[in-house]
C-alpha cells in the first residue's frame, strides 16, 4: 500500500507536516482513531462534508507508517482502522468491479465522512452544553432549604359491629370468668359428687344437704353459693343413679337427702 | 398587593458617587444572595458581596416590602436577614401521612362499656372489663371525641364519669346510646354465638349465660394490659 | 410587572367542588413550597401538599410571571419546578459556588451523546466516539445522577439504554431535553440519525454490538422520557 507515490507528493505546508508529526508523537492524546481522523481532517481546512476521504486515508496510513518508524506502539483500534482505510483507499482508486457485492467505495467513504461529521457535531454540542450556566456555579438553589417534617397522623376507626361484639365479649367473659379465675371459690360438681359418694353410705336418716358442705365453704357467701349449688347438683346426680332419695317439705325449706336402701332397677 | 412598590422598586434612578447599580438591581442582588445563602446574611456581609456603592440596607427595605403578604418573608434573624416561609403556611412544610387503624380491642371494650353503662366511672369500667383501664385508652377516646367527662358521681371520692358524645352517636349512626342493642338482641343478630356448654361445667349465675367461642381468646386477653 | 396578575390573582372567586383557596393563596403556597426546597418539585407533589382542590399548575403560571426579571426565577425542570437565582447574578455567589467535579473529555462527550441521542446504548456511544467507553465514565455519570438507565432495547441481547435525568436538566438549566442547544439543527442535518453501517466498515470499540436493527426504533423512542 505504501507504493502509492502520491503519499509523499502531497502538497503539504511545513506547518501541516509538523502538525502531522506532532500527531504521531502525541498519540496518547487521542480518543481513538476516529478522533485522530477528525484532527487530521482539520488540516484539510474544508467543510467536513466536502472532505476528501481518499486524502484522509492516505494521511492516516502515513501516520501509522511513521508510528512504526518511531517504534510507537499503536493500540489495536488504530491498526484496525488502518487496515480498513487501506481497503477503502483501494476501492476508491480502482474502477468498481461489477461482480463484487457490498457497498461501493463511495458508500463507505460517505459513511466515514458522516461519522466524522457526527463526532464533530457531538463535540460541539458537548462544548455548548458545558458553556451553559450551571447549577452551583452560575445559578443557585436555595441555600437554606427548609426541612419537610413528616407528621404521621393515625386515625382510628371502629364500626358498630366492633362495638357490640366487644360488649358481648366482655359480658360473656364476665360470666364465665369464675370458671378460671376464681377456682379457689368454686366447688365443682365433680368434687361434690366425690364427697357425697363417700358419705352417702352413712346417711340412713334424712339429712339437710347443707350438712354435706365441705368445711370452710359455709362462711363466705360466694363459696357457700358455689358449694351449695355443686352439692345440690351432685345430690340430684346420686338420685338419678339410684343411690339416694331427696325431698323438700316446703318452698325454701331445707333440702334433705338420705341413702336409698334398695337401689332401683 | 404590592402595586405601590412597583413604582419605586425597579426604576428609581439613584445618585451615587460610585455609580452603584440602580436600586432595583440592588434589590435583585439582595434577593439572590439571601435565597442562595446557607445562613442568614448581615447587612454588612451583603454590602461586602455587592458591587461597590450599593446600599444593602435600603435594598432590604424594598425587598422586605415586596415580600409582604407573599408565601415567603424576608425576616430578621439576630442581626442578619433570611428568607423564610410565611408563618401561616408552615403547614405546607409538614408531610402528613394519615394512617387509618382499627381501634384496639381494649379501646373498643372500654368504649362499649361507657356506651352501655353511661355515665360510668373508671372503676366501673375496670370492674366490668375485669382489668385495669390504661390512661392511654381513655385519653385516646377523649381525643377522638367519642367520649367526654360527665357529671361527677356523688359518692365518696366524687369520681368523674364518662359519657359518649354526639360525635360518637354520629359515627355509629345512633340516635341515642339507648338504641344500642341489648345482649338478647346481639344474640338474635348472631353477634353472640350460642354454644352448648362443655359437659360437666358448672352453670353459675343467671340462666342465659352464653359461652361464645371467643372465651379462650378472652382469657388470654385478660392479662394483656 | 405583574399588576395584571394581581387582579385575577387574589380576589377572583373560584368555583370549585372542594372550596379550594383563592388563586392568590395557592400562588403563595406554591411560592413557599418551591422556596423551601433545594430540589425541583413536581406539579403532582405540589398538588399533593396543597389543600384539596388546588391547581398548582395554574398557580405556577402566575408565580412564574411574578418573578420575571427578579433576582430569583421560577424555572421548569422536566416536569418539576424550582426556584433558582438569576443567571446574571452568579458573580455574587462565590461563597456558594460548589467545586465542580472535573469531568474528563470522554465523560463530557459521553454525556452529550446520551443527552442528544437518548435513549442510547453503550454500543451507540462507542460507535459515535469510535472508541470503547470505559466503565468508569458511565459509572461517574450515573453517580453524579446526570444519567440513569432507561428501558432496555427490544433487540437481541436486550441492551440497556441510558437517558439523562432531571438532575441533569436542573444542573444545566434546561426545561427539557428538547431544549438542548442546537438540537433542532443537529436533527435537521441528520446527525442524530443512527445510520446503518455499510458492511465491512470497522466496528470500533468493543461494545455489545446491536447497531443495525435498533436504529429505527431508537429514533422513535428519542426523548420520550
pLDDT per residue as tens digits for the range B115-153: 988 889 998 898 888 888 888 899 999 988 899 999 998
* Cβ separation C173–A134 shorter than 8 A: yes
Give A-chain residues touching C48 at CB under 8 angstroms: none
Predicted confidence (pLDDT) at residue B183 exceeds the cutoff of 90: no
Q: Determine if the pTM surpasses 0.90.
A: no
Q: Provide the mean pLDDT of chain A.
A: 79
Predicted confidence (pLDDT) at residue B2 exceeds the cutoff of 60: no
Name the pLDDT band for A76 (thresholds 50, 70, 90): confident
Q: Which residue has the higher pLDDT, A39 or B15?
A: A39
Residue C59's H or E segment, with its range, is helix C56-66
Chains touching chain A, criterion 3+ CB pairs below 8 Å: B, C
Closest Cα of chain C to A37: distance in Å?
A: 10
ipTM for the assembly: 0.63
Query: Please, are residues C17 and C74 in contact by the beta-carbon 8 Å criterion?
Result: no
CA B121, CA B114: separation in Å to the nearest integer?
A: 8
Instruction: Write down the pLDDT at residue B188.
Output: 67
Instruction: Write down the pLDDT at residue C57.
Output: 95
Best of C30, C32, C54 to disrupt the B interface (most B CBs within 10 Å) is: C32
A91: Cβ–Cβ under 8 A, 6 or more apart, which residues?
Answer: A104, A105, A108
Please choose, from the candidates A128, A129, A115, A104, the residue with its C-alpha nearest in 3D space to the C-alpha of residue A81.
A115
Q: Which of A177-186, A218-227, B15-24, C132-141 has the highest mean pLDDT?
A: C132-141
- Of all residues in chain A, the percent with pLDDT exceeding 70 is 84
Best of C25, C92, C97, C98 to disrupt the B interface (most B CBs within 10 Å) is: C92
pLDDT per residue as tens digits for the range C103-114: 888 999 999 999
Give B-chain residues touching A185 at CB under 8 angstroms: none
Name the pLDDT band for A175 (thresholds 50, 70, 90): low
Q: How far is CA A37 from CA A2, A73, A110, A111, A156, in A?
A: 19, 18, 14, 13, 73
Predicted confidence (pLDDT) at residue B113 exceeds the cutoff of 80: yes
pLDDT per residue as tens digits for the range C207-221: 444 444 334 443 334
Predicted confidence (pLDDT) at residue C206 exceeds the cutoff of 60: no
Name the pLDDT band for A212 (thresholds 50, 70, 90): confident
* Cβ separation C6–B6 shorter than 8 A: no
Give C-chain residues touching B31 at CB under 8 angstroms: 70-72
Query: Please, are residues B70 and C26 in contact by the beta-carbon 8 Å criterion?
Result: no
pLDDT per residue as tens digits for the range C47-68: 998 998 899 999 999 999 999 9
Cβ-based neighbour number of residue B222 at 10 Å: 14
Name the pLDDT band for C203 (thresholds 50, 70, 90): low
Name the pLDDT band for C224 (thresholds 50, 70, 90): very low
- Name the residue of chain A whose CA is nearest to B117's CA: A167
CB pairs under 8 A between A and C: 155
CB pairs under 8 A between A and B: 158
Name the pLDDT band for A264 (thresholds 50, 70, 90): low
Please choose, from the candidates A257, A231, A230, the residue with its C-alpha nearest in 3D space to the C-alpha of residue A244.
A257
Closest Cα of chain B to C172: distance in Å?
A: 17
Cell 418573608 identifies what position?
B73
Closest Cα of chain C to A81: distance in Å?
A: 7
Please choose, from the candidates A15, A35, B224, the residue with its C-alpha nearest in 3D space to the C-alpha of residue C205.
A35
Q: What is the 3-state secondary structure (H, E, C) of chain B?
A: CCHHHHHHHHCCCCCCCCCCCCHHHHHHHHHHHHHHCCCCEEHHHHHHHCCCCCCHHHHHHHHHHHCCCCCEEEEEECCEEEEEECHHHHHHHEEEEEEEEECCHHHHHHHHHHHHHCCEEHHHHHHHHCCCCCHHHHHHHHHCCCEEECCCCCCCCCCCEEEECHHHHHHHCCCCHHHCCCHHHHHHCCCCCCCCCCCCCCCCCCCCCCCCCCHHHHHHHCCCC
* Cβ separation C204–A33 shorter than 8 A: yes
Name the pLDDT band for A23 (thresholds 50, 70, 90): low
Closest Cα of chain A to C13: distance in Å?
A: 30
pLDDT per residue as tens digits for the range B89-99: 988 887 767 77
The domains found in chain B, sorted by start residue, are 3-91 (1.10.10.10), 105-222 (1.10.10.10)
Give B-chain residues touching C49 at CB under 8 angstroms: 92, 95
Query: Please, are residues C54 and C29 in contact by the beta-carbon 8 Å criterion?
Result: yes
| Full DSSP string of A134-146 | -BTTTB---SSPP
All cell numbers assigned to A62:
502515513
Closest Cα of chain B to C216: distance in Å?
A: 45
Q: Which residue has the higher pLDDT, C126 or A189?
A: C126
Cβ-based neighbour number of residue B178 at 10 Å: 9
B199: Cβ–Cβ under 8 A, 6 or more apart, which residues?
Answer: none
* Cβ separation A166–B85 shorter than 8 A: no
Amino acid at each position: 500500500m505504501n507504493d502509492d507515490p502520491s503519499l509523499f507528493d502531497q502538497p503539504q505546508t511545513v506547518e501541516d507536516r509538523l502538525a502531522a508529526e506532532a500527531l504521531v508523537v502525541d498519540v496518547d492524546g487521542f480518543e481513538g482513531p476516529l478522533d485522530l481522523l477528525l484532527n487530521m481532517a482539520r488540516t484539510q481546512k474544508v467543510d467536513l462534508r466536502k472532505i476528501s476521504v481518499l486524502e484522509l486515508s492516505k494521511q492516516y496510513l502515513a501516520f501509522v507508517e511513521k508510528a512504526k518508524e518511531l517504534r510507537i506502539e499503536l493500540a489495536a483500534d488504530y491498526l484496525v482502522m488502518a487496515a480498513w482505510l487501506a481497503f477503502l483507499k483501494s476501492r476508491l482508486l480502482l474502477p468498481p468491479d461489477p461482480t463484487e457485492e457490498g457497498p461501493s467505495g463511495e458508500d463507505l467513504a460517505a459513511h466515514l465522512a458522516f461519522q466524522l461529521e457526527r463526532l464533530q457535531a457531538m463535540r460541539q454540542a458537548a462544548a455548548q452544553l458545558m458553556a451553559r450556566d450551571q447549577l452551583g456555579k452560575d445559578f443557585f438553589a436555595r441555600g437554606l432549604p427548609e426541612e419537610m417534617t413528616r407528621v404521621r397522623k393515625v386515625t382510628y376507626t371502629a364500626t358498630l359491629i366492633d362495638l357490640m361484639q366487644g360488649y358481648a365479649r366482655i359480658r360473656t367473659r364476665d360470666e364465665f370468668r369464675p370458671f378460671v379465675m376464681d377456682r379457689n371459690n368454686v366447688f365443682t360438681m365433680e368434687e361434690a359428687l366425690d364427697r357425697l359418694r363417700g358419705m352417702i353410705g352413712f346417711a340412713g336418716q334424712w339429712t339437710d344437704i347443707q350438712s354435706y358442705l365441705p368445711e370452710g365453704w359455709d362462711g363466705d357467701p360466694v363459696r357457700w353459693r358455689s358449694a351449695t349449688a355443686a352439692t345440690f347438683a351432685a345430690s340430684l346426680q346420686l338420685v338419678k343413679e339410684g343411690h339416694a332419695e331427696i325431698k323438700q317439705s316446703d318452698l325454701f325449706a331445707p333440702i334433705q337427702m338420705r341413702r336409698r336402701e334398695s337401689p332401683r332397677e | 398587593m404590592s402595586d405601590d412598590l412597583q413604582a419605586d422598586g425597579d426604576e428609581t434612578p439613584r445618585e451615587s458617587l460610585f455609580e452603584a447599580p440602580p436600586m432595583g438591581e440592588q434589590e435583585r442582588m439582595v434577593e439572590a444572595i439571601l435565597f442562595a445563602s446557607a445562613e442568614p446574611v448581615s447587612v454588612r456581609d451583603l454590602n461586602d458581596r455587592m458591587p461597590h456603592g450599593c446600599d444593602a440596607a435600603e435594598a432590604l427595605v424594598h425587598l422586605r416590602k415586596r415580600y409582604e403578604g407573599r408565601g415567603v418573608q424576608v425576616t430578621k434573624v439576630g442581626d442578619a436577614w433570611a428568607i423564610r416561609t410565611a408563618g401561616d403556611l408552615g403547614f405546607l412544610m409538614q408531610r402528613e401521612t394519615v394512617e387509618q387503624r382499627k381501634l384496639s380491642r381494649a379501646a373498643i371494650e372500654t368504649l362499649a362499656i361507657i356506651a352501655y353503662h353511661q355515665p360510668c366511672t373508671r372503676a366501673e369500667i375496670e370492674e366490668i372489663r375485669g382489668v385495669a383501664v390504661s390512661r392511654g385508652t381513655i385519653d385516646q377516646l377523649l381525643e377522638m371525641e367519642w367520649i367526654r367527662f360527665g357529671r361527677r358521681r356523688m359518692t365518696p371520692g366524687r369520681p368523674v364519669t364518662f359519657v359518649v358524645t354526639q360525635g360518637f352517636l354520629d359515627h355509629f349512626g345512633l340516635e341515642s346510646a339507648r338504641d344500642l342493642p341489648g345482649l338478647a338482641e346481639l344474640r338474635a343478630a348472631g353477634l353472640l354465638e350460642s354454644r352448648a356448654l362443655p359437659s360437666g361445667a358448672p352453670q353459675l349465675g343467671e340462666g342465659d349465660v352464653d359461652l361464645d367461642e371467643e372465651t379462650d381468646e378472652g382469657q388470654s386477653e385478660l392479662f394483656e394490659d
